[in-house]
Amino acid sequence: MITLLVAFFVSLLVALALTRLVRDRALAWGWLDQANSSRKVHVRPIPRLGGVGIVGGFFAPLCALFLVDSGVGYHFRSHTELVVGLFLGGAAIVALGLYDDLRGAGARLKFAVQFAVAFGLYAMGFRIDVIANPFGPELVLGALSLPFTVLWVVGVVNALNLIDGLDGLAGGVAFFGVGTNFILALSRGDVLLSLLLAALAGAILGFLVFNFNPASIFMGDTGSMFLGFVLAAVSIKTSTKSGTAVAMLVPVMALGLPIMDTLLAMVRRSLLGRPMFSADREHIHHRLMSHLVLSHRATVLVLYGLCGLFMLVALALNFANSAQSAMLLCGMGVLIVLLMRRLGYLDLGRARGMHQVRQRNLWLRTMVKDVTRAVRASPSLEVVWNAVRPLADALGLSRQELHFQRVRPTGLADNVVFEAQRPAGSGVPFEVRITLEADGEVLGAMLLVWRDGRAAINRDEELALEQVADAVAEVAGRLRPRADAEPGRLVAMRK
């Protein structure tokens, strides 16, 4: 027990010190998460590399075990596959997270690394062989063990990443998952898993000192994916030592909130025709804030309470027989349905218009794909402007502008402005300005104006414009040295 306490406090202190250091350096170097999207809750730029503190805090006491000549250190070093899996897999996930936080990583790269790590874990003995069935005999997976294990690891990594939407939320959710697995490991006398979980708990709490509302730093993808990775790997180990009546049900229940939120996001985006990896403001924490009119901090505390309930049910499942497990699962199922209905996920009135929304989104995605393809093939800024002009008809704009900042060989700067307007509605103008930025440098801006009476832009239109703006910024950075358009140019918009 003393070793567990030492590991916890070492992790806590290292995470505290490292998170503060990273926060100060990120502020000084401008590594900030900008509040430039309607889906984001914060209103000012915040550093987003706090995951480095979590990673450092977790590994600090584990690395010390390689230097300490003790029984615990020998026990730790003797489990080669566990140690190698956590260190190598964790390093790959952290490298991916840092790259994503600093430069941005696409879904293809993320999944390639995550699946490679998951296959590696399976090869090192992290395997799900049995799926619990409290209503009958357990399901032995056999050849399906590999895909189930891989999907579990990748799913939990992304579930923690998706739930990271409010100050302190992802860290708190992970802490409850760690707490559940720690109690189970300790009750079975598994010193090694208890040690790993104690270290992770200390690292999370050290980070939460700076991340709880109002946060001064975010964990970023580095932290959220690393937490998901460790929880996924440790959960497999704790489940393999459970009775077959509850194998894998306990970790699933312990991570019930992020798993439920991820499944809802997948269903929602599929039904609405949105890209599976697009961000929105329809997560459980967003719904709590809008439907129950809760503050940022109150929403996080309510979700902490829900995680606590999931934790208690997970622990109860571990000690319950099959009949009791079935009753607990049915009770949680009823509670989840009531919660979903209260938050508007089962609103039948909204479902009636879902088909129209899906058709428009699919059409919008096709249009954006055509526009971005034309933009990336453009040999000049004038051709870029002609490529984005179809947005006016597609989105019902009354005015559309495209601004580029150009630096001449003499060092003097001027602006290249393309503008088009047409009569489209008589309401109060509503403007949206999107900064064109590449590699931290502002290259210009897109300005779009509606006069159709709207007071906001919906998330699907915003997502489409963000994709077009990214393509325009990419090409502008390439063409700027040979920009040939005249400043102040006015282009008439055709119907």
3-class SS letters over 52-76: HHHHHHHHHHHHHHCCCCCHHHHHH
Give me the pLDDT at residue 79, please. 85
In a domain, 487, yes or no: no
Is 222 in the same domain as 261? yes
- Number of domains into which the chain is organized: 2
The conformational region for residue 142 under phi > 0 = left, psi -120 to 50 = alpha, else beta, is left
Is 225 in the same domain as 194? yes
In a domain, 217, yes or no: yes
- Report field, pTM of the whole predicted structure over 0.85: no
Is 360 in the same domain as 295? no
Tell me: is residue 386 an annotated ligand-binding position.
no
Tokens representing 365 are 């995605």
In a domain, 67, yes or no: yes
Is 278 in the same domain as 381? no
In a domain, 363, yes or no: yes
Is 308 in the same domain as 362? no
In a domain, 298, yes or no: yes
In a domain, 443, yes or no: yes
Is 193 in the same domain as 74? yes
In a domain, 489, yes or no: no
In a domain, 223, yes or no: yes
Tell me: is residue 221 an annotated ligand-binding position.
yes
End-of-domain residue from the set 296, 331, 348 = 348
Is 22 in the same domain as 88? yes
- CATH classification at residue 419: 3.30.450.40
End-of-domain residue from the set 314, 330, 348 = 348
Is 395 in the same domain as 322? no
End-of-domain residue from the set 348, 370, 385 = 348
Is 313 in the same domain as 414? no
Is 240 in the same domain as 135? yes
Is 416 in the same domain as 461? yes
Structural domain boundaries enclosing 387: 355-482
Radius of gyration of the chain, Cα coordinates, nearest whole angstrom: 25
Show pLDDT as tens, one digit a residue, over the chain (495 residues). Answer: 788 899 999 999 999 999 999 998 888 877 776 655 544 554 467 888 899 999 999 999 999 888 877 777 787 888 888 889 999 999 999 999 999 988 888 888 999 999 999 999 999 989 888 877 766 677 788 889 999 999 999 999 999 998 988 899 999 999 999 999 999 889 888 888 999 999 999 999 999 999 998 888 999 999 999 999 999 999 888 876 554 345 667 888 888 899 999 999 888 888 888 887 777 788 899 899 988 888 989 999 999 999 999 999 999 988 887 788 889 989 999 999 999 988 888 876 676 778 888 888 888 889 999 999 999 999 988 899 999 998 888 888 899 999 887 655 554 456 788 988 877 677 788 999 998 887 767 888 999 999 888 888 888 888 888 889 999 998 988 886 444 444 444 334 433
Tokens representing 31 are 């590594």
Is 90 in the same domain as 50? yes
